[in-house]
A and B are shown apart, each in its own frame.
Chain A
Amino acid sequence: MSARRTLTTLKAIALIWTALTGSPALAASAVELIESDISSRNIAIESNFTGERIVIFGTIKNAKHAEFQNSPYDIVVAIRGPEGPVVTRRKARVAGIWINRDSHTFANVPGYYAVLSTRDLKTIASPAVLTTNKIGFQSLDFIPFGMQDNSALDAGINTFRAAAIRIKQKDGLYLYDPKGVKFVGQNLFRATVDLPANVPVGAYATDVYLLRDGKVLSRNRSNLTINKQGFERFVFSAAFDYPLLYGIIAVIIAVTAGLLASALSRRD
């Protein structure tokens, strides 16, 4: 028996002993940790892209179920897409027609934001804990252009902020599912998210939080990248990197199509 094997066996015995007695002897210092990953870390948007389902899964390491029987573990998954400025406009009736009138511009608005949890966020932790950990729509830190923080938000601007979140939800780009994280067995969990076809491209961060008694015990981050690939990428980058050339090529394609059509119709 090799030395390593002996060590593993010893560890296993210790673990079993700990589990049986419920008193952390060897694992006394071992705090609960969350380990997680995403089913795909790179998502390619190609011409057949109609959205994609991703699964966030993981496990609680050093779980102490016996010790805290009355306060179960909670898991929150937060997926955050690339941030950018967004302008929110409100229509008003002017001379009988509905026209965009007032507007507010917000900075740092995530293009995508999904929160999934084992139960209602309000019952998991206090607003303060949620805010400091940036969990939930209320803690989204997008702020009006030119302001330093959220503190000066008045009711008027808040209506625009709420409207932006509402519209993003309707577009399937913001999501809150208080039953989205499911335990499979005691320590293993999974959460399924359907990314819509209009999902913005860029770098995404997926944070998984482990909570108990309203406190965050552990956090684990995985990164996700969504990019246009193949022909889609080629067209998109051509349009934005070489806009003039792109326009000229678009015209050449159209002229060719016109000539072809004319040749075809002449043959009849």
Chain B
Amino acid sequence: MFDFYLPIAEMSVNLLVILGMGGAVGFLSGMFGVGGGFLMTPLLIFSGIPPAVAVATEANQIVASSVSGALAQWRRGNVDIKMGTILLLGGMAGAVIGVQFVKILREMGQVDLIISLSYVTFLGIIGSLMLIESLRAIRRARAGNPIPARRPGQHNWIHGLPFKMRFKRSKLYISAIPPLIIGIFVGLLAAIMGVGGGFIMVPAMIYLLRVPTSVVVGTSLFQIIFVTAMVTILHSATNQTVDVLLALVLMIGGVIGAQFGARAGQKLKGEQLRALLALMVLGVSLRLAFDLVVQPDELFSIGPVFRGEQ
């Protein structure tokens, strides 16, 4: 009854299932304050959406969620436009390379593999790190020790690089090269994995660039809006894999879910929340790894021929 046909994915899906998926991931992203792309894209792939369509469509959805997120941060003055712009320049270059990479991989028949491998690698690493960190925090909290605060003004190798710029909002005077490289990397991930890349950008800004925590989220969201917008347009122009209908349903579910998630998140403790998220991230990573390692029932697959078309 609630089945509807997706024009680009070319399959019939249940409206309530897709709305529910958008809502569930929206709830989690509202609760944990994360983008949710790294959960949504694998979910879409598990439910039978072609991986290339899942990636491009999810990028489109992230535009919506990052706009509302960035706006909230902007009102509080938590966006470093200059830093964001440098990250964005890198992100755009990364997106262009990433979309071309996806096109070549599709022609070679290896796009599904690379998407899965990227997810297994990144979710595995991030999930493990988060789990270790949150377990330590929980143990520390139980022992009653306060979490040691970072001292500002610490110098690392980043400060030896040329092309130094002043970032007033972040109170930093550092080289433009590291944010540019972080941006490129995040742009690549956005194009290949259909994620905003906040899970890489936020820790990189905090630990490598020493950007104040208050500015980190707003600035990364600012970058994510434009990079995912560019990824959406490029994927559409190059691979025709953006399904607007699917994206719209995910957006609606996501918005509703995020509202409830944000409220639920305020009632839970930070460390436990992070441990929970870490377990979920590891779960998705293991599930994808399992599919890669176990011998599939059907070794053969068929696909359309891209080269020589049109």
Bound form: Cα–Cα A87–B110 in Å: 13
**Judging by beta carbons under 8 Å apart, are A259 and B71 in contact?**
yes
Name B's interface SS.
Answer: helix
Stretch at the interface among B56-64, B191-199, B267-275: B56-64
Note all chain A residues with C-beta closer than 8 A to B72: 262, 265
**Judging by beta carbons under 8 Å apart, are A84 and B302 in contact?**
no
**Judging by beta carbons under 8 Å apart, are B248 and A253 in contact?**
yes
Tell me, rounded to whole Å, the shortest Cβ–Cβ distance linking B34 to chain A: 16
- A221 at the B interface (CB under 8 A): no
Stretch at the interface among B37-45, B126-134, B173-181, B238-246: B238-246
Tell me, rounded to whole Å, the shortest Cβ–Cβ distance linking A201 to chain B: 9
**Judging by beta carbons under 8 Å apart, are B244 and A235 in contact?**
yes
Q: Are A87 and B8 CB-contacts (below 8 A) given A251-B60, A257-B251, A257-B255? A: no
**Judging by beta carbons under 8 Å apart, are A243 and B109 in contact?**
no
**Judging by beta carbons under 8 Å apart, are A250 and B300 in contact?**
no
Stretch at the interface among A24-32, A71-79, A96-104, A150-158: A96-104
Stretch at the interface among A40-48, A62-70, A116-124: A40-48
Bound form: Cα–Cα A98–B105 in Å: 16
Tell me, rounded to whole Å, the shortest Cβ–Cβ distance linking A192 to chain B: 20
Note all chain B residues with C-beta closer than 8 A to A268: 259
Residue from B109, B248, B293 in contact with A103 in the complex, judged by beta carbons closer than 8 Å = B109
**Judging by beta carbons under 8 Å apart, are B63 and A254 in contact?**
yes
Note all chain B residues with C-beta closer than 8 A to A47: 4-5, 245
Can you list, as one digit per residue, whether each of B205-246 has a CB less than 8 Å from chain A (1) or not (0)? Answer: 000000000000000000001000100111111101010110
Note all chain A residues with C-beta closer than 8 A to B236: 239, 243-244, 246-247, 250
Tell me, rounded to whole Å, the shortest Cβ–Cβ distance linking B230 to chain A: 9
Residue from B240, B248, B300, B301 in contact with A239 in the complex, judged by beta carbons closer than 8 Å = B240
Bound form: Cα–Cα A235–B242 in Å: 10
**Judging by beta carbons under 8 Å apart, are A235 and B7 in contact?**
yes
Q: Which residue of B lies closest to A247 (CB)?
A: B236
Q: Are A91 and B296 CB-contacts (below 8 A) given A197-B5, A197-B11, A251-B232? A: yes
Note all chain A residues with C-beta closer than 8 A to B252: 257
**Judging by beta carbons under 8 Å apart, are A88 and B300 in contact?**
yes
Bound form: Cα–Cα A243–B65 in Å: 23
- A1 at the B interface (CB under 8 A): no
Q: Which residue of A lies closest to B72 (CB)?
A: A262
Note all chain B residues with C-beta closer than 8 A to A243: 236-238, 240
Q: Are A86 and B303 CB-contacts (below 8 A) given A197-B11, A247-B234, A251-B63? A: yes
Q: Are A89 and B300 CB-contacts (below 8 A) given A103-B109, A259-B68? A: yes
**Judging by beta carbons under 8 Å apart, are B304 and A86 in contact?**
yes
Instruction: Give chain B's interface residue range (CB within 8 Å of chain A).
Output: 35 or more
Note all chain B residues with C-beta closer than 8 A to A233: 7
Bound form: Cα–Cα A99–B11 in Å: 25
- A166 at the B interface (CB under 8 A): yes
Residue from A49, A86, A258 in contact with B12 in the complex, judged by beta carbons closer than 8 Å = A49
- A39 at the B interface (CB under 8 A): no
Note all chain B residues with C-beta closer than 8 A to A49: 5, 12
Q: Which residue of B lies closest to A268 (CB)?
A: B259
Bound form: Cα–Cα A103–B299 in Å: 12
Residue from A86, A170, A258 in contact with B67 in the complex, judged by beta carbons closer than 8 Å = A258
Bound form: Cα–Cα A167–B297 in Å: 12
- A182 at the B interface (CB under 8 A): no
Q: Are A160 and B303 CB-contacts (below 8 A) given A87-B109, A250-B244, A261-B68? A: no
**Judging by beta carbons under 8 Å apart, are B4 and A168 in contact?**
no
Q: Which residue of A lies closest to B234 (CB)?
A: A247
**Judging by beta carbons under 8 Å apart, are B301 and A257 in contact?**
no
Tell me, rounded to whole Å, the shortest Cβ–Cβ distance linking A156 to chain B: 13
Q: Which residue of B lies closest to A105 (CB)?
A: B305
Tell me, rounded to whole Å, the shortest Cβ–Cβ distance linking B120 to chain A: 9
**Judging by beta carbons under 8 Å apart, are B303 and A167 in contact?**
no
- B295 at the A interface (CB under 8 A): yes
**Judging by beta carbons under 8 Å apart, are B300 and A160 in contact?**
yes
> Lowest 3 CB-CB distances: which A-B pairs, in order?
A258-B67, A247-B236, A163-B300
Contact residues of B with A, CB < 8 Å?
3-5, 7-8, 10-12, 60-61, 63-68, 71-72, 109-110, 113, 117, 225, 229, 232-238, 240, 242, 244-245, 247-248, 251-252, 255, 258-259, 292-296, 298-305
* Contacts beyond the supplied A50-B3, A85-B304, A164-B300: 7 A-B pairs with Cβ under 8 Å: A89-B109, A93-B295, A97-B117, A167-B298, A239-B7, A243-B236, A250-B60
Contact residues of A with B, CB < 8 Å?
45-51, 84-93, 96-100, 103, 105, 160, 163-164, 166-168, 170, 197-198, 228, 231-233, 235-236, 239-240, 243-244, 246-251, 253-255, 257-262, 264-265, 268
Question: Can you list 12 residue pairs at the A/B interface with Cβ under 8 Å?
Answer: A98-B293, A99-B113, A100-B109, A197-B11, A246-B244, A247-B232, A250-B244, A251-B229, A258-B64, A259-B67, A264-B255, A265-B259
